[in-house]
Chains A and B, each alone.
Chain A
Amino acid sequence: MLYKKYKRHVFRFAPVIIIGLLLTTLPTFTDLAIIGLFTKILIFALLVMSLDLLVGYTGLMAFGHAAFFGIGAYTTGILIKHYDILSFWLSAPAGVLMAVLAACIFGVIALRVSAIYFLLITLALGQLVFELANTSLGKLGALTGGSDGLGGIPYPEIGFSFSFSPNSFYYFTWVTFIICALLLYWITKSPFGYSLQGIRESEVRARALGYNTWLYRYIAFIIAGLFSGIAGVLYVHYNGFISPEGVGMGASGLLWLMLIIGGSGTLWGGFIGSGIILSLQYFISGFTPQRWPLILGVCFVGVIMSYRGGIMPQLNILWKRISHDGSP
């Protein structure tokens, strides 16, 4: 029977389809605050997934990933705010391009060293971007707004005399997220993606097989920069405001927490991690904003000490069990 033949596939994709349907129909049954929250979750999910490409698949411990996000956001914001380039089709690619450019430069510097030193150097480079955004002096300060941040950025203008509402911007983000996530998925399942995993497992072996491991890592670094740039552009339109706090070490660390909670090396774990952390932040900051960093720190330590695998692998196992025992 047809049903029996495709049962396994139906089961395999059932959770994806259900979550997809829920997210697609979300604006019909929730209020604006929740839609805003989910827009943010999708943006950060994309960001964490791009980090996962580096951490989980390539084995590069990048601790300055928010920098590319910030560069994308700031470039787009500055173009709109100070140069009156309002068209989304000009300002957004410019933001993404700057993020890619930064990744090209940072990659050359950071990939000179490996392992824990790579982490230190990406951290320092990320903080360089933070300082660039944070300085209030000179022409740069006038452009970025210094420590006050850059505000007043409207929803994107995509032409066709269409203007965004929170609902339609949510759909815009959702569609962008799907496209980027599928691209990332395709990259990780391509020969290139498997080569990255081979390099992660044993660089010496990959090199002996004739792979230019440096180039593979460099390209992965640039791809990750590209997707975080896209997330940055989306975020600056969503939030209307970007400040140095969104760029520095704290932001990069938060991405790491999302990644670890979701499970690194799973790609979709990024979505789960971002959803959990941002929902927690949304609800906890509601009644005790002062203690949120403390709770975040305890989450960090607790998750890493006790639950290092992340949620996504556990969900995978659980789902496999259900779909094999599968009642109907």
Chain B
Amino acid sequence: MSKVSLAVNAKNYTVDADPQTSLLTVLREHLDLTGSKYGCGEGQCGACTVLIDGKAQRSCITRVNSVAGKQITTIEGLAREDHLHPVQQAFLDEGAMQCAYCTSGMIMSAVALLKKTPSPSEAQIVDFMDGNLCRCGTYSRIIRAIHRAAKTTESATGKGAGQ
């Protein structure tokens, strides 16, 4: 056991954990942030996706000591008070879920994608999101949700620039 300092959703935490522990375990067990999900433990399904310094990473295969001092964002840190992130809103608007167990990871990956590529083509979405599994098969809706979020963000930014 050792002390690890973490910055999660703009809050600082010190946790007492084996440095080899996965970030996912620390988020879920130590910080009770259960929005990030376990699906496979080998980085194959994307249900555990979080942002580390803005990049989508699989928290189940990320050791907690490797992210000390970095900015970690989980699904719980995406909305601003009552205001959903555009990607969250787009998933709701498109009904892009069934059991929704994959949804946290999908949304986090989509946020990272849109940060890098604000108006992705369908091929770019498929390519970037291919590591995220939805076993209920809502892929076409998720693609639509990402397009929708891209449009909302674009128009919001457009407005912002004009002011």
Tell me whether A and B are bound partners. Answer: no
Q: Which residues of B contact A (CB under 8 A)?
A: none
Q: Which residues of A contact B (CB under 8 A)?
A: none
